[in-house]
Amino acid sequence: MPSSEPLDRAALGERLDAIFSFDVSSGRNYDELTEPLLAGERAVQEFALHWAKVAAPTHLEIAYLVVLLAPLALDRLGRRDAEAWVVAALDGFDRVGLRAAVMRLRDIEGFARSASPAAVSLDAIAPRLQRFLQGLAGRPLRVEADARPWTDTETVYLPPLVELATREASADRYLALAAMLWAQGRWGTYAMDIDAALADFARPDHALDWLALLEALRLGARLERELPGLRGEIAALLAGLPPQLDTARAALAAPGAGVDDSIAWLRTHAEVAVSPAPTLECLPTLHPADARERRAARIREQSQVLRLSIAELLESLRAGQDDPPPELEVDADPERLELEVKIDGASVTLPPEGLAAAQSLLQDLGEIAPELLVPAGPAEWKGDGVGKGKPGTLETRADALFDEWDYRRQAYRRQWCHVYLHAVGGGDESYVLAVRARHAPLIRQLRRRFEAMRGEDRVLRRQSDGQDVDMDALVAAIADRRGGAEPSPRLFCRRQRDERSLAAVFLVDMSGSTQGWINDAEREALVLLCEALEMLDDRYAIWGFSGWTRTRSDLYRIKEFDEAYGTEVQARIAAIQPRDYTRMGPPIRFVTEKLLAEPVRHRLLVTISDGRPDDFGDDYRSDYGIEDTRQALLEARRAGVRPFCITIDRQGADYLKRMYGPAAYAVLDEVRKLPLKVAEIYRKLTI
């Protein structure tokens, strides 16, 4: 037991130094931190020091704030909720970034309110809303906090806290608001240029506010029909609408009503539109400029996806090079988001990412114009494999060189990327023991599940030798003898293990952005995976990757196919750390080659990363990186490797569908799910 005497200045300084190892560059100093703690009791000091130490590996700034604010937080929240307050901030960092973490820490008052029993905070309900919106929209929508609800059609902004009579009522309010904002995108609030349409009103600003209310009326009626389960909640939302709007109700509730009907009503009621609209806190506001920008970007992006999938489809269908260009037609129903694509009169099935792009376009544009079906440039595939072996022109000699896909040229840049292989050292061997201890029950469960996948013993019949008599064969032999034929001497059965004949590579993101919980989760994921894989005979290798521009793609050897999962490999897993940037193409091409060299029937490539490819300096972080990654996955698939991409990305951005189109993929919205998920995905992929 530590003594309950408060720590003095010197003792506090020492403890803080161990956590922050003060660097002058930070502009912070001991005094700023020791001062608030000096006044406190020992329990307060220990709380602050403990949680600062927990937070420091994630981000020092968070640790600073924890120390500064801990006395206040403990006072206002009490110990249990104060712990939750730090954890919520760390979670905010993982999911959104430093700014969110800082905002959460500062808002102790808000946190206190959210702890009330009937209140629901957006933080708590956001993952649930995201799944709800995914179900409604069929594509991911982001959820973010803002004082009033609104949407740019890609991100849904909702109030940070709702407190109605009960918890359930508060949660239902969130569902209704989310549905209302989804409805703005789905039924075309932004399908026309609202700013232009309202420009000639006497007061366009007031008109916009009125329009927001009219749209709430129109979409509310629509939602009551489409999602009758939400009728009560929608009615509650609309309850405060001013009586001037009563005459609009009937017109806007008509089945085919659109945003133009809302605007038309405003036009005929000019006397309403000149006055300021009442402020109804719970109803959505309109942001035409943001929506316009998102919509234009989305249309650009989705058109590209659609054209690429059409190109792929044509390539896979094409019989001879000399055939005349095929005739493309599309038959679309914008109301149901259904469409049929025909090539030379025959109906074809678009790949899932192409179909999703087409539906997104249909939603935004109301039709699929013929020019959207023009296939993207010929994605030529050269048959001689990816480049390798030749020394680079740069000073150092790369271990391998790879081509890179430049989507703007629609061609490869030859021998463009320099790959260096590294050994990983200096890892703590006890790390794996610690993870094993921490997750013992989980590991046991995984091992049992994996054991059940082991190629079962198979009985080979009609052998000339074996453990058992083959009754079928024996009976046949007796029958043959009776019938006067020569009986077969092969009368035994033998057990033999069925071969899974499978090799897998796990490619782990070691870029700088994995700093903190993601890196921890990656390493835990690998431990759990290896522990489980020990139950099978599958061949597997693990590589880490990071890099810095095209001249340096680093690949870290964690485990080769032929290495056992022993202390050495375990120490290397422990040593996986965040390094530089994420250039995903070269690592994918490298391990694809590794996989192709394995003498197995099935080859699997699993990537684990934290989102968008990104590299220093050049434009790899833009479309270029997405397209090259996509191309590398496509190459892998064509060569007979099955790629599967696991990504931690709370934003669930649309580029994922484009980038991972050639692969199957899973997006995790929470880091803590990663460790179990990797093993589970592997199991599902190979069961």
DSSP code string of 185-252: HHTTTTSS-HHHHHTTSS-HHHHHHHHHHHHHHHHHHHHHHH-GGGHHHHHHHHTT--GGGHHHHHHH
The correct pick among 365, 442, 476, 596 for binding other proteins (CB under 8 A) is: 476
Is 500 a residue that touches other proteins (CB under 8 A)? yes
Residue number, 349 or 396, with CB nearest to other proteins: 349
Residue number, 436 or 602, with CB nearest to other proteins: 602
Residue 474 Cβ, how far from other proteins at the closest point, in Å? 9
Using CB under 8 A as the binding rule, the residues of this chain from 603 to 622 that contact other proteins are 603-604
DSSP code string of 438-494: HTHHHHHHHHHHHHTTSPPEEEEEEESS-SEE-HHHHHHHHHHHHTTSPPPS--EEE
Q: Which residues contact 228 (CB under 8 A, 6 or more apart)?
A: none
Return the closest-CA partner of residue 551 out of 393, 388, 387: 393
Would you give the binding string for other proteins spanning residues 281-320, x where CB under 8 A is met?
Answer: ----------------------------------------
Using CB under 8 A as the binding rule, the residues of this chain from 56 to 95 that contact other proteins are none
Residue 135 Cβ, how far from other proteins at the closest point, in Å? 4
Is 537 a residue that touches other proteins (CB under 8 A)? no
Is 687 a residue that touches other proteins (CB under 8 A)? yes
Q: Which stretch binds other proteins (CB under 8 A): 49-57, 142-150, 379-387, 658-666?
A: 658-666
Q: Which helix (H) or strand (E) holds 177?
A: helix 167-186
Is 457 a residue that touches other proteins (CB under 8 A)? no
Using CB under 8 A as the binding rule, the residues of this chain from 564 to 603 that contact other proteins are 602-603
How many distinct helices (H) and strands (E) make up the chain? 25, 19
Is 445 a residue that touches other proteins (CB under 8 A)? no
Q: Which two tokens stand for residue 184?
A: 């703005």
Q: Indicate the SS3 state at residue 643.
A: strand
Is 686 a residue that touches other proteins (CB under 8 A)? yes
The correct pick among 336, 380, 395, 426 for binding other proteins (CB under 8 A) is: 336
β-strand partners of 193 = none
Residue 661 Cβ, how far from other proteins at the closest point, in Å? 12
Interatomic CA distance for residues 587 and 213, integer angstroms: 52
Residue 479 Cβ, how far from other proteins at the closest point, in Å? 4
Residue 528 Cβ, how far from other proteins at the closest point, in Å? 17
DSSP code string of 357-383: HHHHHHHHHSS--GGGGSPPS-----T
Is 349 a residue that touches other proteins (CB under 8 A)? yes
Q: Which helix (H) or strand (E) holds 17?
A: helix 9-20
Q: Which two tokens stand for residue 564?
A: 């056992």
Instruction: Please check whether residue 245 is in contact with residue 269, taking contact to mean a CB–CB distance below 8 angstroms.
Output: no
Is 38 a residue that touches other proteins (CB under 8 A)? no
Residue number, 33 or 663, with CB nearest to other proteins: 663
Is 131 a residue that touches other proteins (CB under 8 A)? yes
Interatomic CA distance for residues 76 and 72, integer angstroms: 6
Task: Determine the distance from the C-alpha atom of residue 373 to the mean position of all C-alpha atoms in its chain, rounded to a whole number.
Answer: 28
Q: Which stretch binds other proteins (CB under 8 A): 114-122, 184-192, 260-268, 659-667?
A: 659-667
Residue number, 55 or 238, with CB nearest to other proteins: 238
The correct pick among 41, 81, 107, 226 for binding other proteins (CB under 8 A) is: 226
Using CB under 8 A as the binding rule, the residues of this chain from 153 to 192 that contact other proteins are 172, 175, 179
Is 106 a residue that touches other proteins (CB under 8 A)? no
Region class of 544: left (phi > 0), else alpha (psi between -120 and 50), else beta: beta
Q: Under the rule (CB under 8 A), what is the footprint of other proteins?
A: 127-128, 131-132, 134-138, 140, 172, 175, 179, 226-230, 336, 338, 349, 456, 458, 461, 471-472, 475-476, 478-479, 500, 502, 602-604, 642, 644, 664-667, 684-687
